[in-house]
Amino acid sequence: MRPALASALMPFVRGLDPEGAHELSLRALNWGLAGRERRPDDPILAVQALGLSFSNPLGLAAGFDKNAVAVLPLMRLGFGFVEAGTATLRPQVGNPRPRVFRLEEDRAVINRLGFNNAGLEAYTANLAALPRPLPAVLGANVGINKDSTTPERDYPELYRRAAALVDYVTVNVSSPNTPGLRDLQGEARLAAILDAVLAARAEMPRRPPVLVKIAPDLSEAAMEAIVGTCLDRDIAGLIVSNTTIARPDTLRSPQKREAGGLSGRPLFQASTELLRRVHRLSRGRLTLIGAGGVENGETAYAKIKAGASLVQTYAAFAYGGPAMIPRLKRDLAARLRRDGFPNLAAAVGAEA
């Protein structure tokens, strides 16, 4: 099945409740029903980042494949990288249902899943079973259990267990759905966690780079502290950003009052402005991944010009299906050529 045909079936999938539709989508991917992209990527989209080679800058954000059950079929759709997770040390059921809400009028999603996942044992077993080499870059996104009181021990253990199986590891301290998690973005607590992770990394024979995923709701002072903390250590980059607890006045859906993190189109402006500020502050010394409202070539290009070397999508993929991937890449390549950039790297931060 071609990605365009798979996308044509999306309205039927959206007739199900959001979480049920998501579970069905993961099964369909493993059944081969989503198809695969066989055309090679345009060379202008190739990028070197994090010490890795990406055939294109478009990635799938964490949260879509929490347990790494569909990594290979997702990569075959044409993503340049896939980030699986968030994985926690122990299995976790997450928050009570319903906990995912479509804001269709806004092309957005609200979720309060709460790091529901099968736990690190199942996650790493699925990663270990993947055939190598993989057709795209693989990232792991890790977080702590809701009842954890020892993040300085948990995050290093999560890194140790994932390090041999992935190309990079993201420390998630910014989901709004685990009580107290965002407090870990504070300067002293984040520094302690990152020092512990980097100490574990130093002991590993294979040392994938470490990234930190941050919230879009940070004050200027908090953002500056996080960037400084990362610059003072061997942190490779930041993912800017996670979902927001803010509710823009522009939201039209009756679901807008649901608690949880908002993702999708309404997050674009705030997350892109934060990305621009982080790029200015870090002065190119951190690799930035732009996330929040990436749905087409225009929005991906805006993130890149604001300072992102890579971008991630989630809500737009959930709405548009596999056909949005080749469409976005074609449009992005055309915009780079239109503006005279010889390659994607030349455009990074062009308007920051």
Q: Residue 125's domain is classified under what CATH number? A: 3.20.20.70
- From the list 106, 151, 80, the residue with the least C-alpha distance to 304 is 80
d(CA 77, CA 265): 22
Give me the number of domains the chain comprises: 1
Percent of all residues in the chain with a pLDDT value above 70, rounded to a whole number:
96
Confidence of residue 184 (pLDDT cuts 50, 70, 90): confident
Q: What is the pLDDT of residues 249-263, one digit of tens each?
A: 999 999 999 999 999
Q: Would the pLDDT of 289 be above 50?
A: yes
- Residue written as token pair 């997702």: 74
Whether 322 maps to a domain, the answer reads yes
pLDDT band at 174 (very low <50, low <70, confident <90, very high): confident
Cα 210 to Cα 201: distance, rounded to the nearest angstrom: 9
- The catalytically annotated residue of 7, 55, 174, 175 is 175
AA letter at 69: V
Other Cβ atoms within 10 Å of 244 Cβ, number: 21
In a domain, 99, yes or no: yes
pLDDT at 80 over 50: yes
Stretch 103-111: mean pLDDT, rounded? 96
Question: Cα torsion at 215, 141, 59, 295 (round to 10°)?
Answer: -40
How crowded is residue 50: how many other Cβ atoms within 10 Å of its Cβ?
22
Residue 337 lies in a domain: yes
Q: Is residue 207 assigned to a domain?
A: yes
| CA–CA gap between residue 168 and residue 319 (Å, rounded) | 27
List the one residue out of 294, 295, 303 whose CA is nearest residue 320. Answer: 295
Average pLDDT of span 78-92: 97
Residue 352 domain-assigned?
Answer: no
Q: Is residue 247 part of a domain?
A: yes
Higher pLDDT, 100 or 5: 100
Q: In terms of residue numbers, what domain contains 300?
A: 3-347
Distance separating alpha carbons of residues 89 and 142, to the nearest angstrom: 9
Asked if residue 225 belongs to a domain, the reply is yes
Q: Are residues 84 and 123 in contact, defined by beta-carbon separation less than 8 angstroms?
A: yes
Q: What is the pTM of this model?
A: 0.94
* Pick from 22, 23, 24, 31: nearest CA to 1: 31
- Structure confidence at residue 185 (pLDDT): 80
Model pLDDT, residue 17: 86
Average per-residue pLDDT in the chain? 93
Banded model confidence at residue 8, pLDDT cuts 50, 70, 90: very low
Note the pLDDT tens digit of each residue in 36-67: 999 999 999 999 999 999 999 999 999 999 99
Which band of pLDDT confidence, cut at 50, 70 and 90, is reported for residue 12?
A: very low
**Mean pLDDT across the stretch 273-292?**
96
Query: 159: closest CA among 109, 117, 122, 211?
Result: 211
Burial 26-39 (b: 16+ CB within 10 A, else e): bebbeeeebbbbee
Give the pLDDT of residue 175.
81
Residue 175 appears among annotated catalytic residues:
yes
In a domain, 135, yes or no: yes
How many angstroms from the chain centroid is the CA of residue 57? 12
User: Using CA atoms, how far apart are residues 146 and 154, in angstroms rounded to an integer?
Assistant: 12
What is the percent of the chain with per-residue pLDDT over 90, rounded to a whole number? 87
